[in-house]
Structure 1
Amino acid sequence: MPNRLTNLVSTDEEPHYGKYGMLRRTYLKEHRPAMYSLYMLEDRLTEHLNTVDDEAQERMDILVRQMMERQGITEELKV
C-alpha cells in the first residue's frame, strides 16, 4: 500500500502577498473558515493570496491612473 503522507510535501509558492492578500486571508479566516481550511489542506492558500493581491494591486494602479487623468494631475504638477 503506498504511503499517502508523501502528498503532504509543500509545493506552495513563496508568499509575496501584501496588504490585499493579508486582507483576503483575514476575511477567509473570519467569514469563510471552510474555504480557508480547504485552501490550507490543498496547499493552495499562498498561491490564492498572491493571486488576489496581484489582481487587487493591478486594479488599484488602473484606478489611481484614471483618477489622476480625470483630475488633470500630471508629473509636472506633482513637482
Structure 2
Amino acid sequence: MAKTIFEEMGGTYARQGDYLLPCLFLPAEKENKPIGVWGQRHLRYLKQHRKVLYTNLLTSGKLNSYLADIDEQAEDLFFRLVNQMVEREGVTEQLKMENQMEWVGRMNNIHGSAMEIVNAELIYS
C-alpha cells in the first residue's frame, strides 16, 4: 500500500475506534513569556472577533510571544499616559497631603482615561 503524503513527511496515525486519525502537535514556542492583564484582554478579543488571526498565531506557535509583546506595549503606554496626565493636570504629592479624597478622585479619573486610550489603541483594534 502506498504511503500518504502525511506519512511521507514523517507523520503518524493513531487508531480511534475504526478510524485512523493523524497525530498532530502544535509547534513549541521558543520563548515562554508571562502574559499580563492587557495580553489576556487582547486574547479574549482575538478569540471573539479576530478568529482567523487567532488561529494563525496559535497554529504557527507565535501566539504567546505576540500576546506578551502586546502586553508589554500596553503597559508602557499606560504608564506613560498616566505620567503625562498627572503632570498636565497638576496632581502632586502636595495635593495628596492636603486633600486625599480629591487626589484619589483625580487619579482614578486619570487611570480610567488612560485605560480607555490603551484599550482603543492596542487591545481592541
Query: Match of 2:83?
Result: 65
Q: Which range moved further: 59-68 or 12-21? A: 12-21
Q: Matched residues, percent identical?
A: 32
Contact 1:68 1:74 in 2 (8 A): yes
Bigger Rg over Cα: 2
TM-score (norm 1): 0.81
Aligned pairs, how many?
A: 78
The whole-number CA distance in structure 2 between the counterparts of 1:11 and 1:43 is 5
Q: Which runs of 4+ in 1 moved over 4 A?
A: none
Bigger relative CO (Cα 8 Å, ≥ 6 apart): 1
Deviates more, 1:9-18 or 1:61-70: 9-18
Match of 1:35 in 2: 53
Aligned residue for 2:104? Answer: none
- What are the within-5 Å matches in structure 2 for residues 1-79 of structure 1? 1=8, 3=10, 8-79=26-97
TM-score of the superposition, structure 2-length normalised?
0.54
Larger fraction in strand: 2
Gaps of 5+ in 2: 1-7, 13-24, 98-125
Instruction: Show CA shifts across 1:19-69 (max 9, x none).
Output: 110011001100011110100100000000000000011000110001110
